[in-house]
Chains A and B, each alone.
Chain A
Amino acid sequence: MALVLNEDQAMIRDSAEGFFKAEAPTTAFRKLRDSKDATGFDRALWKKMAEMGFAGVLVPEGHGGSGFGYVGAGLIQEAIGRNLSLSPMLSTAILAATALLVGGTDEQKANYLPKIASGDLLMALASDEKSRHTPNHVATTAAASGNGFKLNGTKSFVLDGHVADKLIVAARTAGADGDTDGITLFLVDPKAAGVSIARQSMVDSRNAAKVVLNDVQVDGADVLGGVGSGWAILERALDAGRACLAAEMLGVSAQSFETTVDYLKTRDQFGVKIGTFQALQHRAAHLFCEVELARSVTLRALQALDEGDDRASIFASLAKAKGGEVAKLATNEGVQLHGGIGMTDEFDIGLYMKRARAARETFGDIAFNGDRLAKMMGY
Chain B
Amino acid sequence: MSDALEQFRSETRAWLEANCPAEMRLAVTSEDETCWGGRNFKFTSQAQKDWMDRMGAKGWTVPEWPKAYGGGGLSKEEAKVLSSELRRIKARSPLNSFGIWMLGPALLKFGSEEQKKHYLPQIARGEIRWCQGYSEPGSGSDLASLRTSAEDKGDHYLVNGQKVWTSYADKADWIFCLVRTDPTVAKHLGISFLLFDMASPGVSTAPIKLISGASPFCQTFFDNVKVPKENLVGVSGKGWDIAKYLLTHEREMIGAMDTGDARETMAQVAARKIGLENGTIADAALRTDIIRHEIDAWAFALTMERVKDTAKAGQGVGALSSMLKYYGTELNKQRMELLMSIGGSDGLLWDGDNQGDGDLSRSWLRSRANSIEGGTSEINLNIIAKRVLELPGA
Contact = CB atoms under 8 A, between A and B. Distances in A.
Interface of A: 2-4, 261, 264-265, 272-273, 275-276, 278, 281-282, 284-286, 288-289, 292-297, 299-300, 318, 321-322, 325, 366-367, 370-371, 373-375, 377-379
B153 to A, nearest CB: 42
B247 to A, nearest CB: 17
A263 to B, nearest CB: 11
B323 A288 contact: yes
Interface in B291-313: 291-292, 294-296, 298-300, 302-303, 305-306, 309-310, 312-313
B389 A284 contact: yes
B393 interface: yes
A272 B394 CA distance: 13
Given A282-B378, A288-B323, A379-B280, A370 B392 contact: no
Given A281-B381, A289-B327, A296-B299, A4 B313 contact: yes
Contacts of B276: 379
B391 A371 contact: no
A294 to B, nearest CB: 7
- Give the interface size bracket for B toward A: 35 or more
B295 A373 contact: yes
Interface in B379-394: 381-382, 384-385, 388-394
Interface of B: 267-268, 270-271, 276, 279-281, 287-288, 290-292, 294-296, 298-300, 302-303, 305-306, 309-310, 312-313, 315, 320, 323, 326-327, 378, 381-382, 384-385, 388-394
B300 A293 contact: yes
Given A285-B381, A288-B388, A366 B292 contact: yes
B296 A322 contact: yes
B323 A282 contact: no
Listed from nearest, the 3 A-B pairs whose CB atoms lie closest are A276-B393, A285-B384, A281-B385
B59 to A, nearest CB: 29
B291 A370 contact: yes
Given A272-B393, A375-B280, A285 B299 contact: no
Contacts of A293: 296, 299-300, 302-303, 327
Contacts of B378: 282
A379 B287 contact: yes
A2 B323 contact: no
Nearest to A275: B391
Given A2-B312, A3-B309, A292 B391 contact: no
Given A3-B306, A3-B310, A289-B323, 20 more contacts: A265-B392, A275-B392, A275-B393, A275-B394, A281-B382, A281-B389, A285-B326, A288-B389, A289-B326, A293-B296, A293-B299, A318-B295, A322-B295, A325-B295, A371-B291, A373-B295, A374-B291, A375-B279, A375-B280, A378-B271
B309 A2 contact: yes
Contacts of B327: 289, 293
A374 B281 CA distance: 9
5 contacts: A292-B320, A297-B298, A373-B295, A374-B294, A379-B267
B299 A284 contact: no
A80 B326 CA distance: 31
A281 B379 CA distance: 11
A85 B384 CA distance: 31
Contacts of A367: 288
A293 B301 CA distance: 9
Contacts of A378: 267, 271, 279
Contacts of A265: 390-392
A2 B309 CA distance: 6
A361 B281 CA distance: 25
A289 B385 CA distance: 11
A130 B326 CA distance: 41
Nearest to A6: B313
A32 B291 CA distance: 40
Nearest to B390: A265
B268, B299, B312, B390: residue with the most chain A Cβ atoms closer than 10 Å: B299
A272 B268 CA distance: 51
Contacts of B306: 3-4, 295-296, 299
Contacts of B394: 275-276, 278, 281
A284 B287 contact: no
A9 to B, nearest CB: 12
A1 to B, nearest CB: 9
Nearest to A284: B389
B300 A4 contact: no
B130 to A, nearest CB: 32
Nearest to B301: A296
B267, B294, B381, B391: residue with the most chain A Cβ atoms closer than 10 Å: B391
Contact of A297 (B288, B302, B326, B390): B302
B290, B305, B320, B392: residue with the most chain A Cβ atoms closer than 10 Å: B392
Contacts of B280: 374-375, 379
A299 B391 CA distance: 28
Contacts of A295: 303, 306
Given A261-B389, A285-B389, A288-B384, A379 B270 contact: yes
Contacts of B295: 318, 321-322, 325, 366, 370, 373
A104 B271 CA distance: 41
Given A2-B312, A289-B384, A292-B323, A284 B391 contact: yes
A379 B299 contact: no
B302 A300 contact: yes
A299 B268 CA distance: 27
A3 B320 CA distance: 13
Contacts of A322: 295-296, 299
B388 A296 contact: no
